[in-house]
Structure formats: structure tokens, C-alpha cells
């Protein structure tokens, strides 16, 4: 990678949108708290030039159920990240943020139903009062892993030109219906990105985010640019707090994974940074959430499998999320099983 961008506290504020129709500014938080067994992926994004904000709440619970919500809310300006009951507030730039959600989420006993008809799941499954109140505290300074031109790519893919990430700890409470969970040590990666974003731009996209019990933190990405070319990269934060950037990332399934709405078996994660630092882990899936993204004309569909996973590496144990994305043309991404 070349031409690294240095992000500063001022970049925590929202940015003036460009005139590109697909301009998006978003923040995302992952979560896994081993003591409570709660997981989470929470994201809010302003697509102000399209007149709406996106909100996604995805909370795998320790009994195998999932609290899930997705909404689009009308917006006219890119002034804050607040929509559909979710809100992100920066309390100390690049140090602490507050993440909250208060509304009714769909309560899914079988999350695989999201694969075939997300709208029906949100419309017909029971909805329960859900509250999230979490504080993110960073473990390391902001991470400058991306180039000035795009997400681990040469700038040809519209996946947000500016993007930084931080590993941290989430603390607070989650309540779903009459069940309350105290989050004392929620492992988390959060990101902030802005620029044009089109989810179906790459052929495939795999990103893995292990956080290990010795303090090692990993972000490994592989983006399919064509049938034969891929952009790879990421970083390893070692227990001494040093960040090792760049390099080659491989995320490989140990079993043939053709896109079923459930994930049986495991996968491996390998990354070697430009200075020779290496990380290998064998992963097993704790919870698998199958989603999809369609273009407005429905000709291109992105299969989105999100796997909350346990990682084992040289006697270490860790947790985190891995995304398995694949673009399909003219078809239901889950129909082939």
C-alpha cells in the first residue's frame, strides 16, 4: 500500500458530501462479549444524496436467537448519525464513542429465514422492545491501514475513499424483551468511512476481525477485483501495541461453502504483513447471519454471510466477525443451497 492517509480528531466529524450519487458516510461497530454470550454488528450510514440513512441492528443472543432490525429513514443533511432508533455520538474523538438503540426489533428464533425474505421476517416475526446502551473505548490509536484512494484497492472500486478503523472494548447493557445482558468486556472493531459506496462493486469480499486473548488484534481483507485478481491487506496489532500494516490476506473455508443460509464447518485466516509479521487461525462459527443486498434493478445481488466466530491460534483463543460476500447476477444468492 502507498499514499497512506493520516486521520485526525477532526475526521470524527461528519464530512461535506461530494456530488456523487452514491456518497455514503457511516460508522460500524462489531461486538462479542464472552461472559454474556452476546454478539453484535451495528451500523448507521447517511446516503444524503439519495435522501435516506440506513440503520442495521444485528444482535445474536446466547440462546441462538437474533434481535434484528433494518430501516431507511429520510434525511436531508449529513449532520449526525441518528436514524431508525440508533444513534452514534463521539464523546472524545478517536478515544470514546457512545452507541445506542431504542425501538422494537424483530425477534428471530431461526436467523436463516433472513436469507430468503428479509422483509417478511421483519414484517411477520414478533417484535420486542430492544435497548442498547454501550460505550466504546479504543485500545489503540486510530489505524491508518488504507490508502487515499480506496478500501484495500487501487481506487477503482467505490467502497468509500476514506476509511479508518479502531479496535476497542464496548461496555454497557443490552436488553431484548425481558432479558437484560451486562456487557463488561465486549470485543469490538469500529470503523468510520465516507465517500461513494456501491456494495455490489467487487466480485467477492471477505474480511475477518479476530481479537485474541493475548491482546493480538487482526483485520484481514480480500476483495475480488476480477476472476483472477484480488486486492488483499489489513493489519496485525501485536500485544506490545505495535501495528503491522499491509501484506497478503487469505481467508479460506475448510469445507466447500456454496452459500447456504447456514455455515457448517470452519475456515482459516492467514495474513502476512509487509514487515513479515504473520498470523494464522482456525475458526469455528458461533452464529451465522445470512443477508443479501440487491441493486435497484435487481440484476446484481450480493450474498452477505456474516459469521460470529471463535478463533484458535498457537494456543490463543479469540473472537470476532468474518464477512463472506459474493456477487451473483440474475439470481437468488441463496437458492442453490
Lowest mean pLDDT, pick from 113-117, 144-148, 331-335: 144-148
How confident is the model over 114-138, as pLDDT tens digits? 887 778 888 889 999 999 999 999 9
Task: Examine the pLDDT at 159 and tell me if it is beyond 80.
Answer: no
Give a yes or no: residue 2 inside a domain.
Answer: no
Residue range 137-150: mean pLDDT, rounded: 67
Give a yes or no: residue 279 inside a domain.
Answer: yes
Give a yes or no: residue 5 inside a domain.
Answer: no
Q: Report pLDDT for 334.
A: 62
Total-model pTM: 0.91
Range of 31-45, 186-200, 216-230 with top mean pLDDT:
31-45
How confident is the model over 220-272, as pLDDT tens digits? 888 888 778 887 878 899 999 998 887 777 877 554 456 677 887 789 999 98
CATH number of the CATH domain containing 288: 2.40.370.10
Q: Report pLDDT for 151.
A: 45
Give a yes or no: residue 81 inside a domain.
Answer: yes
Structural domain of residue 90, as residue ranges? 18-329
Lowest mean pLDDT, pick from 33-47, 138-152, 267-281: 138-152
pLDDT category at 155 given cuts 50, 70, 90 is very low
Task: Examine the pLDDT at 58 and tell me if it is beyond 70.
Answer: yes
Q: Report pLDDT for 94.
A: 93
Task: Please give the Cα distance from 71 to 166 (Å, whole number).
Answer: 26
pLDDT category at 145 given cuts 50, 70, 90 is low
pLDDT category at 154 given cuts 50, 70, 90 is very low
Residues 321 and 292 sit within 8 Å (Cβ to Cβ): no
How confident is the model over 168-178, as pLDDT tens digits? 999 999 999 99
Instruction: Provide CB contacts within 8 A for 11, sequence distance 6+.
Output: 162, 164, 192
Give a yes or no: residue 337 inside a domain.
Answer: no
Q: Report pLDDT for 46.
A: 97
Top pLDDT among 205 and 42 is at 42
Q: Report pLDDT for 3.
A: 46
How confident is the model over 279-327, as pLDDT tens digits? 999 999 999 999 888 766 667 788 889 999 999 999 999 999 999 988 8
pLDDT category at 201 given cuts 50, 70, 90 is confident
How confident is the model over 69-105, as pLDDT tens digits? 999 999 999 999 999 999 999 999 999 999 999 999 9
> Per the structure, how many domains does the chain have?
1
Of how many residues is the chain composed? 337
Give a yes or no: residue 11 inside a domain.
Answer: no
Q: What is the mean pLDDT of the chain?
A: 87
Give a yes or no: residue 206 inside a domain.
Answer: yes
Residue 288 sits at φ, ψ, to 5 deg, of -125, 125
Give a yes or no: residue 75 inside a domain.
Answer: yes
Task: Examine the pLDDT at 335 and tell me if it is beyond 60.
Answer: no
Q: Report pLDDT for 144.
A: 60
Amino acid at each position: 500500500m502507498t499514499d497512506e492517509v493520516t486521520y485526525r480528531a477532526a475526521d470524527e466529524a461528519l464530512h461535506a458530501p461530494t456530488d456523487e450519487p452514491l456518497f455514503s458516510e457511516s460508522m460500524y461497530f462489531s461486538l462479542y462479549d464472552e461472559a454474556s454470550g452476546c454478539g453484535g454488528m451495528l451500523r448507521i450510514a447517511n446516503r444524503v444524496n439519495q435522501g435516506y440513512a440506513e440503520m442495521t441492528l444485528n444482535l445474536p443472543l446466547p440462546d441462538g436467537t437474533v434481535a434484528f432490525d433494518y430501516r431507511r429513514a429520510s434525511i436531508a443533511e449529513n449532520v449526525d448519525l441518528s436514524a431508525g432508533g440508533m444513534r452514534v455520538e463521539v464523546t472524545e474523538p478517536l478515544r470514546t464513542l457512545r452507541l445506542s438503540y431504542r425501538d422494537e426489533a424483530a425477534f428471530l428464533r431461526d436467523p436463516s429465514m433472513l436469507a430468503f425474505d428479509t422483509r417478511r421476517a421483519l414484517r411477520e416475526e414478533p417484535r420486542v422492545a430492544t435497548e442498547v446502551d454501550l460505550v466504546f473505548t479504543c485500545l489503540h490509536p486510530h489505524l491508518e491501514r488504507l490508502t487515499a484512494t480506496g478500501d484495500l484497492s487501487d481506487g477503482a472500486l467505490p467502497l468509500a475513499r476514506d476509511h479508518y478503523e479502531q479496535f476497542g472494548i464496548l461496555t454497557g447493557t443490552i436488553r431484548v424483551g425481558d432479558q437484560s445482558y451486562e456487557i463488561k468486556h465486549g470485543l469490538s472493531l469500529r470503523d468510520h468511512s465516507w465517500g461513494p459506496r456501491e456494495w455490489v462493486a467487487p466480485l467477492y469480499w471477505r474480511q475477518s476481525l479476530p481479537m485474541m486473548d493475548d491482546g493480538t488484534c487482526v483485520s484481514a481483507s480480500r476483495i475480488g477485483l476480477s476472476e483472477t485478481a484480488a486486492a488483499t491487506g489489513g493489519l496485525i496489532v501485536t500485544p506490545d501495541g505495535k501495528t503491522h500494516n499491509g501484506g497478503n490476506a487469505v481467508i479460506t473455508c475448510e469445507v466447500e461453502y456454496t452459500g447456504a443460509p447456514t455455515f457448517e464447518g470452519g475456515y482459516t485466516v492467514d495474513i502476512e504483513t509487509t514487515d513479515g509479521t504473520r498470523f494464522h487461525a482456525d475458526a469455528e462459527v458461533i452464529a451465522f447471519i445470512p443477508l443479501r443486498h440487491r441493486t435497484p434493478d435487481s440484476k446484481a445481488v450480493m450474498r452477505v454471510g456474516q459469521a460470529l466466530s471463535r478463533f484458535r491460534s498457537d494456543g490463543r483463543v479469540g473472537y470476532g466477525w468474518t464477512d463472506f460476500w459474493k456477487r451473483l447476477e440474475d439470481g437468488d444468492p441463496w437458492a442453490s443451497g
